Structure 1
Amino acid sequence: MPTAILYLGYDFTTYADGLKDKMAVESVKEKCKGMLVQMARQLLAQLPASISILEKLDMLHPKEALSQLKRPITTIAQEFQVVCQDIRETKKQWSNLTNKTWDKIADESSFWFEVYEDRDAAGDRRFSHVALFALAILTLSVSNAAVEQTFSTVTIMKTKLRNRLQCKTLESLLQVKYCLKWRGQDCSSFHRTPQMLQKFNSNMISPRNRTAWKLYSWKPTFLVP
C-alpha cells in the first residue's frame, strides 16, 4: 500500500502539510504504515481458526431467517452436529419458517422462543429442531469479554469457604444469575411462585446424600422440645 493513500488523521495531515522536509514526512508515514500492518497481523493471529463459522451466525437474526434469499442452515449445522442431531429435519423446518407470520422479530431470543412455542393443530411443535438448534448456538460465548465475565462470576461464587461446591451447583447458580439478568431482574426484584416453594422439600436431596442429611439434622433427645 503506497503511503500517498495512507490517512493518519486530520491533525497529522495538517501538520505535515506545513513542513518543508517532505522526506521526513514520508519516513514517518512509512513507520506508521509498518506499525499498522504489524498490529493487524497480531490481531489476526489472535482470532480463532473458526472465525469463518462465527461470521455465519448472523443468519440466525430474524430478518435473515425470514428472508426469501436466506442461506441454507446446513452451512452452520454441519459444524455443530453435536447440537444439531437431525440436520435433514432442521433444514426442512428452516425452509418452512417463511410460511408463517411471526410477531416477535425484534431480537433473536424472543423470535426463536416464539418459533419454539409454535404448535400445529395436534399440539406438536412444528419447528422444535431448528428452534432448539438456534437457541443453543445463541448461548455460545463468542467474545472474550463474555468468557472472562463468566470466570469472574465463578471466582466470586467459589470462595475458600465454598470451595467444595459441585459443578452442578455452580452451573445452577450461573443459570439463575444469567436468566435473571436476561429478564432484567435481580435478587431483590424476583418474585417466587408457590410452585417453586413446593419443590423445596426432602425430594431435593439425592438418595446418596439422605443418610448424611439425617446425620446432620439429628438432635439429642434432651434438646427436642
Structure 2
Amino acid sequence: MIGIGSDNASVIVGLNNGVYIKLKEDIPTMVHIRCVCHSLQLAVSHACSETMPRNLEFLVSETYNWFARSSSRQQAYIDLFKLINDGHEPLKIVRACQTRWLSIASAVPRLCDQWLELKTHFGLTKSSERCYTSEMLHSLYSDEYDHAYLVFLKSVLNEVQRVNKIFESNDCDPTKLLQDLTLLIENLVNRVMLPSNRHRVDPFSCNLEEYLDPKLNLGYDTEKLLSDLPKHLHEDREKTLRERCSQFLVFLIKELRNRLPDNVQILKTMSLFSVENTLRVVKNSIVPLLEFFNISAENITKIEFQWSNITLVKWNETKNTVKFWAEVNEYKDAANINPYKELANIAITMLSLPHSNAEIERVFSQMNLIKNKLRNKMKTDTTNALLHIRYGSNRMSETCVSYNFPNEVLDLIPSNDKYRCSQESTIDQPGPSRTVTDEANIDDDDDLNIILQTM
C-alpha cells in the first residue's frame, strides 16, 4: 500500500485516531492525498463566506430560485432578453449549491454576462409583482459595486475551476496534476504580493500579510468597471471593495495551503516521470524521491543508473506518459530480461497514487440512477453487475447497441450451464424463493454474470 486518497472527513484525516494515522504507523512512507476537488470547493466556499459581502450569496441563490419557481417568469425574461439582444436566447441561470464542486464558478459568470438584462427584468417585476425578493434583487443589480465584486470573483474562480476540471478528468497526465495545483497557488500569491518579493520568498510558507501589495490589481475587467464609476461619490466603497478582495485572495491561499498534502514538495517531483522529462539527456535526480519511499541504497544505485540510460532505447510511446511506462515495464532485452524493471516499478507506483475522488463520486451517481425508488429491492450483486457493465462498456468504447456478444456466450443463455456459478441463486423480487434448477426461472443476476465474463 503506497497511498490513500480521501475526502476531508474527520474519521479519515483525524490527527489522533484517523484512518490515515493508523495506517501510517505500519507504513511510514504512506502518502495521503485529500480529494483536491473537495478541497477546492471547500476553500472557495469558506473564502467567500468569510470575506465577501453576505448580499452576494443572496444575489446568486435567489436569482436562480426566482426563475426556478415559475415558468412564466422564465418566459418573461426570455422575451426581454431577446428584445435586448436581437433575438438571441439567454443561457440558463446556474444554481450554486454546497454539495457540487465549485458550482459557484459556473453561476457567477452567468450573472455577470447577463447583468444588464437581469437588472432590467427585476426593475420591471418590482412594480408588477410587488414582492420583497424582486425589490431586493433590483436593488442589488442596481449597485455596480456588487457587479464589481462578481466580476472579480469570476476571474479568480475561472482559474480554480480550470484546475478542478483537470483533476476531475480521466485523460489528464498524472505527472502534471500536482504541478498544476501548486501553480494555482503560486499564481494567486503573485496577485497579492509585491512584485519585488515574488522571487525571494516561498509562496507555500511565507506570511502573506508582510508582503501584500497596497495597490492590488483586481484584473482588467474589474479595474475598467471601477474606473467608470464616480470615485468622488463612493471613494470609501471602492476602498472597502479592494480590501475585501485582497482578504479573499489571502484567505483562499491559506485554505489551499492547509488542504495540500504535507509532502507536496516530494510529490512535485512526480513531474520528473513525465515522458518529456524522462527522455531528456540532462535531467534532475530522483534520489530524494527514492529516499522518501525508503528504497535500499543498492536499489537506489541501480535505479539511478537505469534513469540515466533510459534514453539509449528508441521507444515507441513518446506522447502519453502512462503508455510510455507501460512499454518500459514490458521491455525485454536479448536475454529476455527487463533492464529497467526497478525504474518502471517506482514510476508505476507514483502514477498509481490517487489524486481525487471524482471517479468514486461518478460511481455513486451511476448507482443512484440504477437503484432508484422503483427498483429499491434490487440486490447488491445485480447493482454491482450493472455498474461493471456500464464501466466495462465505457472502457471498451462500446454501447449496448454496438457491443457484439460472442456466440459461445449467446449459446449459454437458454441453457442451465449459465447457472454453474450460482446454483442456489434467487430472483430479486419479494416472494417465495425459487432456485435456478428450473430452466424456466431465469435469474437476471446470472444473465449479468454471463455478460460480465465477456467484458
Q: Which TM-score bucket, shorter chain as reference?
A: 0.5 to 0.7
Q: How much does 1:105 deviate?
A: 0.6
Q: Give the aligned partner of residue 128 of structure 1.
A: 341
What RMSD in Å do the two structures reach over aligned CA positions?
4.4
Q: Give the aligned partner of residue 213 of structure 2.
A: 2
How many residues are aligned here?
208
Correspondence for 1:31 among 244, 248, 259? 244
- Which deviations, in whole Å up to 9, do the C-alpha atoms of 1:8-51 show, x marking residues without a partner? 13343234334225742223211221122112222222222233
Matching of residues 172-183 of structure 1 within 5 Å: 176=392, 179-180=395-396
Note if 1:19 corresponds to 2:231: yes
Residue identity opposite 1:114 in structure 2:
E
Between the two proteins, what is the percent identity of the paired residues? 24
- Which deviations, in whole Å up to 9, do the C-alpha atoms of 1:31-86 show, x marking residues without a partner? 2211221122222222222333332211111111111222223333344459xxx5
- The 8 Å contact of residues 141 and 147 in structure 1, kept in 2 or not, is answered as no
- Which deviations, in whole Å up to 9, do the C-alpha atoms of 1:81-110 show, x marking residues without a partner? 59xxx5444333222212222221101122
Note if 1:101 corresponds to 2:311: no
Instruction: Provide the secondary structure at the position in 1 that maps to 2:232.
Output: coil
Correspondence for 2:253 among 40, 47, 62? 40
Cα distance change, pair 219–174 in 1 and its aligned pair in 2 (3 A): closer
Q: TM-score, normalised by structure 1?
A: 0.65
Q: How much does 1:116 deviate?
A: 1.8
Q: How much does 1:153 deviate?
A: 5.5
Cα distance change, pair 92–174 in 1 and its aligned pair in 2 (3 A): farther
Which has the higher mean CA deviation after the structures are superposed, 103-112 or 146-155? 146-155
Q: How much does 1:156 deviate?
A: 6.7
Cα distance change, pair 63–36 in 1 and its aligned pair in 2 (3 A): same
- For structure 1, the 5+ residue unaligned runs are 221-225
Note if 1:137 corresponds to 2:350: yes
Separation in 1 of the partners of 2:322 and 2:313?
18
Separation in 2 of the partners of 1:173 and 1:78?
42
Q: How much does 1:111 deviate?
A: 1.0
Separation in 2 of the partners of 1:186 and 1:87?
46
Q: TM-score, normalised by structure 2?
A: 0.36
Separation in 2 of the partners of 1:192 and 1:92?
48
Matching of residues 135-214 of structure 1 within 5 Å: 135-150=348-363, 152=365, 164-165=380-381, 176=392, 179-180=395-396, 184-185=397-398
Separation in 1 of the partners of 2:359 and 2:310?
30
Q: How much does 1:115 deviate?
A: 1.3
